[in-house]
Structure 1
Amino acid sequence: MDRNELLELLTPEGLRLLDDLAQEPAGADPVARVSRLRAQGHSPALVSAALTQDRLRRKAVGKFGEFAERMLFTQASLEQATRLRVAALHAGRFRALAPTHLIDLGCGIGGDALAAAAIGLRVTAVDRDEVTATLASYNLAPFENADVLNASAEDVDLDPYDAIYLDPARRTSGHSNTTRLTRASDYSPSLDFAFGLAETRAVGIKLGPGFDREDIPEGWEAQWITVDGQVVELGLWSPRLARPGITRAALVLNDAGSHEMTAAADSADVEVREPGEYLYEPDGSVIRARLIGDLARELDAGMLSPGIAYLTGDTAVETPFAARFRILERFTLDEKKLKRELKARGIGTLEVKKRGVDIDPATFRKKMSLSGKNAATLFLTRIDGQHAALLAERA
């Protein structure tokens, strides 16, 4: 979305059109919609902007629920926005600190600021991009305790604020087709700037889950968050916001609720053992937080191989922190033999997982020429350092 498209939308005609589009059922023919709206006298620019916005709003329901119905987005800002469920956790951590004024640097379309304002915190949201800051202003308009600045984080006078939340730009600038920045030194604002703020204030930072652990400052809490099976972020919390005795945390959010593993440091791995009746695949947040050893001890399980994030044991334990599979058979990692074995078992649907081997699962699956009515999971991995394949079923 560029400035002209935004101006088209932020008119009485544009906002009424958005409200009308929201009443239409999902899946309507886009060509027919364009023709109908043009026939009603709307300009081509407004029709394009409104239909794009309607599509983004419908997509945003997964992140923002009913709030999405009155918010505005760009494609890039929606992709990068914090889910409201996660933003509420961020806001709750700040509320426990009881700040007088929170500032959200790099606010995007205002997801985190919205959650903070909704629980009564006074919040100022800041974004250097004019269009994005305007969208944040619109999205935060219902909250008298929230305001928005169009400025670079480094240029804002931070004296009035006693708590700071940062979501550094980790992608190239723009409102669509952005690319991920691979070097933390290219983030904006820089992490040196962000970490330096913690010397005098409470600071929280949102980062990608693959952030280099070696760059996490001493004394900060690192919390990796999984939502519905996907690791979505790493939250870093300065000593004033870190929970006592916790520097590593894995939080799993799903339909069943909220579940968390915490530790004072990375956990030590457990011993390698022969495959038992079950294989456990730890959640990505547990792997990122390096709490596999603690999870293994809870499951009374061992490692399949050193440095491989698969666990095995003989006890079926229910846990939100790992998927459980029953091991059916062990094979050498031989493509021809595996193809014969899968055919003999009538396996037509195969989930292929791999760790510790240089194999593309999609390519491997095609080579198996699958046919049949049965389904299974095949783990391509190492067992005590040796390449192997484990045929399994979800248990």
Structure 2
Amino acid sequence: MSESTASELAGALTPEGFKLLNKLWRSGEYASSETLTLAERLRAEGYAPTVVNSVLTQLKLRTQAVAKFGPFVEQMLFTDAGLQQATPLQVAAHHARRFARAGVDEVIDLGCGLGADALAIAGLDIPVTAVEIDETTAAATTINLMPFPHAKVDVADAIQWVRDNPVSEGTARGYWLDPARRKTQSSGTVRIFDPEAFSPPLSFVEELASAGYPLGVKLGPALAHEVIPDTAEAQWVSLHGSVVEAALWFNMAQRSDVRRAALVINAHGASELTSPTDFGMSPQVPVTGIDGAAGYLYEPDGAVIRAGLVTDLMVEHFMDNDATQTSAGRQLDEHIAYFCSDEYHETAFATGYRILEVLPYKIKTLRRYIKEHNVTRLDIKKRGVDVSPEELRRTLMQGLNTKKPASGEHLTLVLTRVGEARYAIVVQPI
């Protein structure tokens, strides 16, 4: 634990600091006060600088944490790094339900961090032990799990804890793991992509799975398909448009008829697309080239793309059991996730756009089009084209009058590759 992280918590972990934190949070005073003024006032009231600094940091982190934890933040403590890595409660609830369906008697949360998943599991009245190697983080987690008498925190290395705590006879134990996927360097933290360099490594997960335990492990969304064990169900999770994780499930925590899945959670609820087939075995659909760019264009959710379920989505939601109907659904290029249909289909698994025009991807052509249509606001999306949308936007809009956005058009360009050719498809969001 770094000194800066410890300072985020130290003062707030004292009885005086925790009481002050909750008082200021519930009064809403922090939100309506200038931070420096509030700090000076608290010091004048006799609070130690370490307490004041820690409490103000916690108030800031609680404000940021509301998006992930909602009203639960009222009794929680955070670190900046821990909050960034914490599972949003909406996602943690889905993890917890897996263990409830598996019928476990207890769950061991290995590498629990600030305890988001342990909190969701305990919320379903399942006894949970949260294991965290860092003492300061474990202290915060203990606070976060205080409302649940059947939740406890152990300070230990995850692998060593498993070695030292065999399962009691007749107890159905489940494991949840969130391996550390970053390492600290002098310049900061960097992401690790080799699963065997995770802490604990993926091989330890497979060792637990081979023993038959109901088990889930949270990994990064960029998880390569080839490293996923044949015995696992892989589920990518998207929350409000961002892919937040790839979770692998084993034994009683997995579903017998699902090999890969995309869970999409948004303001309207949760929707899931699944397939029993292995990666690379998705159904074939029509591929038409750029001539098929008419009607409506769809950009699948990132979880659908990561799970390799683009053509599964097309067949299940766009093709009425006839995968030969190009009018119902077709890809422009089999290697690009965008696809089109003549009629609009609303789905939680893709964002739809009405196609207005198809242009060659040429700077002069696009600048002329933008000028002719009095475009004052330009959005750019891309797939399969090596270009920076921000830099291209500056290039295309350079020298044009953008001071009165209300007086001109709002244009969306979708840049894509079809074969070796590149195109800019002018679309209107639905």
TM-score band, normalised by the shorter chain?
A: over 0.9
Counterpart in the other structure of 2:197 = 186
In the alignment, the residues of structure 2 paired with residue 96 and residue 86 of structure 1 have an alpha-carbon distance, to the nearest angstrom, of 16
Aligned-pair CA distance for 1:20: 2.4
Of 399, 405, 410 in structure 2, the residue corresponding to residue 375 of structure 1 is: 410
Of 356, 362, 381 in structure 2, the residue corresponding to residue 328 of structure 1 is: 356
Q: Is the 8 A contact 2:82 2:113 kept in 1?
A: yes
In the alignment, the residues of structure 2 paired with residue 4 and residue 327 of structure 1 have an alpha-carbon distance, to the nearest angstrom, of 54
In the alignment, the residues of structure 2 paired with residue 382 and residue 350 of structure 1 have an alpha-carbon distance, to the nearest angstrom, of 20
Counterpart in the other structure of 1:109 = 114
Counterpart in the other structure of 1:19 = 22
Residues 210 and 5 (structure 1), Cα distance of their counterparts in 2 relative to 1, 3 Å cut: closer
SS, match of residue 69 in structure 1: helix
Q: Is the 8 A contact 1:5 1:45 kept in 2?
A: no
Aligned-pair CA distance for 1:60: 0.6
Aligned-pair CA distance for 1:272: 1.3
Aligned-pair CA distance for 1:27: 5.2
Q: TM-score, normalised by structure 2?
A: 0.88
Amino acid at match of 1:149: D
Counterpart in the other structure of 1:257 = 269
Residues 3 and 349 (structure 1), Cα distance of their counterparts in 2 relative to 1, 3 Å cut: closer
- Indicate whether 1:9 and 2:12 are aligned: yes
Amino acid at match of 2:304: V
1:44-83 matches, cutoff 5 A: 44-83=49-88
Counterpart in the other structure of 1:241 = 253
Q: Is the 8 A contact 1:76 1:177 kept in 2?
A: no
1:170-319 matches, cutoff 5 A: 170-172=181-183, 178-200=189-211, 201-265=213-277, 266=279, 267-273=282-288, 274-297=292-315, 298-299=317-318, 300-319=328-347
Q: TM-score, normalised by structure 1?
A: 0.96
In the alignment, the residues of structure 2 paired with residue 101 and residue 108 of structure 1 have an alpha-carbon distance, to the nearest angstrom, of 18
Structure 1, 37-46 or 352-361: larger mean CA deviation = 37-46
SS, match of residue 126 in structure 2: coil
In the alignment, the residues of structure 1 paired with residue 411 and residue 364 of structure 2 have an alpha-carbon distance, to the nearest angstrom, of 18
Q: Is the 8 A contact 2:176 2:215 kept in 1?
A: yes
Amino acid at match of 1:217: P
Residues 50 and 384 (structure 1), Cα distance of their counterparts in 2 relative to 1, 3 Å cut: same
In the alignment, the residues of structure 1 paired with residue 384 and residue 5 of structure 2 have an alpha-carbon distance, to the nearest angstrom, of 45
In the alignment, the residues of structure 1 paired with residue 80 and residue 38 of structure 2 have an alpha-carbon distance, to the nearest angstrom, of 20
Q: Is the 8 A contact 1:5 1:46 kept in 2?
A: no
Q: Structure 1 vs Structure 2: percent identity of aligned residues?
A: 43
SS, match of residue 189 in structure 2: coil
Amino acid at match of 1:64: F
How many residues of Structure 1 are paired with residues of Structure 2 in the alignment? 394
In the alignment, the residues of structure 1 paired with residue 307 and residue 188 of structure 2 have an alpha-carbon distance, to the nearest angstrom, of 30
In the alignment, the residues of structure 2 paired with residue 333 and residue 4 of structure 1 have an alpha-carbon distance, to the nearest angstrom, of 52
Residue by residue over 1:184-225, the C-alpha shift from the partner in whole angstroms, topping out at 9 and shown as x without a partner, is 222100110111100111110001110111111113111111
The unaligned stretches of length 5 or more in structure 2 are: 319-327
In the alignment, the residues of structure 1 paired with residue 287 and residue 38 of structure 2 have an alpha-carbon distance, to the nearest angstrom, of 60
- Indicate whether 1:143 and 2:148 are aligned: yes
Aligned-pair CA distance for 1:158: 4.1
Structure 1, 94-103 or 24-33: larger mean CA deviation = 24-33
SS, match of residue 189 in structure 1: coil
Residues 366 and 3 (structure 1), Cα distance of their counterparts in 2 relative to 1, 3 Å cut: closer
Of 164, 169, 189 in structure 1, the residue corresponding to residue 180 of structure 2 is: 169
In the alignment, the residues of structure 2 paired with residue 146 and residue 19 of structure 1 have an alpha-carbon distance, to the nearest angstrom, of 22
Of 363, 366, 369 in structure 1, the residue corresponding to residue 394 of structure 2 is: 366
Aligned-pair CA distance for 1:177: 5.3
Aligned-pair CA distance for 1:29: 1.4
Counterpart in the other structure of 1:353 = 381
In the alignment, the residues of structure 2 paired with residue 27 and residue 290 of structure 1 have an alpha-carbon distance, to the nearest angstrom, of 47
In the alignment, the residues of structure 2 paired with residue 173 and residue 68 of structure 1 have an alpha-carbon distance, to the nearest angstrom, of 28
Counterpart in the other structure of 2:321 = none
Counterpart in the other structure of 2:137 = 132
In the alignment, the residues of structure 2 paired with residue 75 and residue 254 of structure 1 have an alpha-carbon distance, to the nearest angstrom, of 25
Counterpart in the other structure of 2:325 = none
SS, match of residue 324 in structure 1: strand
Q: Is the 8 A contact 2:9 2:58 kept in 1?
A: no
Aligned-pair CA distance for 1:4: 5.8
In the alignment, the residues of structure 1 paired with residue 102 and residue 184 of structure 2 have an alpha-carbon distance, to the nearest angstrom, of 33
Residue by residue over 1:235-282, the C-alpha shift from the partner in whole angstroms, topping out at 9 and shown as x without a partner, is 100132211210111111111111110111242342212212110000
CA-atom RMSD, angstroms? Answer: 1.7
